[in-house]
Chains A and B, each alone.
Chain A
Amino acid sequence: AQSVTQPDIHITVSEGASLELRCNYSYGATPYLFWYVQSPGQGLQLLLKYFSGDTLVQGIKGFEAEFKRSQSSFNLRKPSVHWSDAAEYFCAVGAGAQKLVFGQGTRLTINP
């Protein structure tokens, strides 16, 4: 069965520091991969997605992610975080028709 693992439940970084959030997936076929962000009390917003082609994808808000098939990973990165990036981040894999399977989420805290 398809699954997504986000090994880090909570990460704290200082404002201006770089960020990497980890995501590993399990899926038999070529995966469709996504990163979403959820601010407190809000719905989920799509940051970026990967289907095929260039394995480094750019998203909104200065985020990027790299697909590594050999490691079954799709890690999210940002070179310099801002206090407004504090939120919950979810990695997801497209698991067949009309179904996204989400990871457990990583809560990002930013220290001033």
Chain B
Amino acid sequence: DTAVSQTPKYLVTQMGNDKSIKCEQNLGHDTMYWYKQDSKKFLKIMFSYNNKELIINETVPNRFSPKSPDKAHLNLHINSLELGDSAVYFCASSQGQGWGGYTFGSGTRLTVV
């Protein structure tokens, strides 16, 4: 059983389209995150949710809208995709503030053409 699963693994789409990435965790964690990894491998937090409540929104364009229907799921919807959105998006989860460490999904590679 995969602890943090993301779908799809790969996503190729044209500029201007809208797309969603789904994330589910079966660890019973109460906090979930979205991180963006750029082409230089730099990882930057985008959002964190604790018990379905938005905790961190790290100056992400409002074309990105996270949705947490319950504490086991955190989806990411992106409107009007731009070339600069091409990256690998990682979902992660943790218990509480995460000082026990995060568990990451295997990532979604988004390519905007």
Contact = CB atoms under 8 A, between A and B. Distances in A.
B15 interface: no
B78 to A, nearest CB: 20
A45 interface: yes
Contacts of A84: none
Given A44-B90, A94-B99, A102 B43 contact: yes
**Interface of B (DSSP majority class):** strand
B48 A99 contact: yes
B4 interface: yes
B96 to A, nearest CB: 8
Interface in B72-107: 90, 92, 94, 97-107
A98 B4 contact: no
Contact of A105 (B42, B55, B56, B97): B42
A94 B102 CA distance: 11
Interface string A80-112: 000000001010001001111110110100000
Contacts of B100: 49
Contacts of B98: 94, 98, 100
B52 to A, nearest CB: 13
Contacts of A99: 45, 48, 56
B38 to A, nearest CB: 10
Contacts of A44: 43, 90, 92, 102, 104
A41 B106 CA distance: 7
Q: Which are the 9 A-B pairs with shortest beta-carbon distances?
A: A43-B104, A46-B101, A102-B43, A98-B48, A44-B104, A43-B106, A105-B41, A32-B99, A98-B55
B25 interface: no
A51 B100 CA distance: 9
A34 interface: yes
A58 to B, nearest CB: 14
Contacts of B33: 98
